[in-house]
A = this chain, B = another copy of it.
Amino acid sequence: MSLDGVKALTFDVFGTVVDWRSSIAREAEVLLAPKGHDLDWPAFADAWRARYQPAMEQVRSGARPFTKLDVLHRENLEGVLKTFDVAGLSEAELDHLNRAWHRLTPWPDAVEGLTRLKAKYVLATQSNGNVALMVNMAKNAGLPWDVILGAEVCQAYKPMPEAYRRAADLLGLRPEECMMTAAHNDDLKAAAASGFRTAFVARPGEKGPNQTIDLEAAPGMDIAATSFIDLADKLGCP
């Protein structure tokens, strides 16, 4: 399948571009360890993240109007703190910890790979993160996006078809001129169902040492890459 017509790459961000698990574990430890908490920090990150899909599902199902991810993250944080028996944080501390998602650390190949890809393609975020989260993360980490799209702009959480279709419409492109780029096969399959091209980028450590899914590309992906450097190579971006 020729990829000559691809004009924009749309990116999943959490897990694909940035390493949410070690970033969240580290930020939680920095805030909570001096207060005497001795948690399993990666398990804390996993527990917070485990509430992510169920919270978005409330919006996808229509049970709740569109609500930006900063708000869902905050509700989920308050829940997970209870399950870890952490109490007494100030409003400023809660807000700071919630905004750890705005400060996630990129995978080591991300900035170099994106910079090479940017010379040939429009680079758009297509994340479930809200606009402010994506903008602050990009400023903090040096991610060279051309445009911040995603759930808040499209008013739909992936993998709803509207999330992909509205992104292509905003870019003024046909779906087949957009390539979804993600470390998650379900995201890519949903994008493909809306006509997008697909690039799988393997992040086998995203979910920790016991990760069992998304270790490799599912059949039918247009590209399977091991990093953004590899993706730039495969797309002919010097």
Question: Would you call A209 an interface residue if the criterion is a C-beta within 8 Å of the partner chain's C-beta atoms?
Answer: no
Other-chain contact of A170, B136, B147, B152 (Cβ < 8 Å) = B152
What interface size band does chain A fall in?
20 to 34
Contact A132 B171 (CB under 8 A): yes
Question: Would you call A236 an interface residue if the criterion is a C-beta within 8 Å of the partner chain's C-beta atoms?
Answer: no
Contact A146 B152 (CB under 8 A): no
Contact flag A131-B152 (CB < 8 Å), given A139-B122, A172-B70: no
Other-chain contact of A148, B133, B138, B147 (Cβ < 8 Å) = B147
Question: Would you call A227 an interface residue if the criterion is a C-beta within 8 Å of the partner chain's C-beta atoms?
Answer: no
Question: Would you call A72 an interface residue if the criterion is a C-beta within 8 Å of the partner chain's C-beta atoms?
Answer: no
Give the one of A122, A136, A148, A171 with max B CB within 10 A: A148
Rounded to whole angstroms, the CA-CA distance of A136 and B138 in the bound complex is 20
Contact flag A146-B153 (CB < 8 Å), given A132-B171, A171-B131: no
Question: Would you call A130 an interface residue if the criterion is a C-beta within 8 Å of the partner chain's C-beta atoms?
Answer: yes
Rounded to whole angstroms, the CA-CA distance of A147 and B129 in the bound complex is 14
Name 6 extra pairs, CB < 8 A, besides A131-B172, A135-B171, A147-B147: A130-B170, A131-B147, A134-B147, A138-B146, A153-B153, A153-B170
Contact B70 A132 (CB under 8 A): no
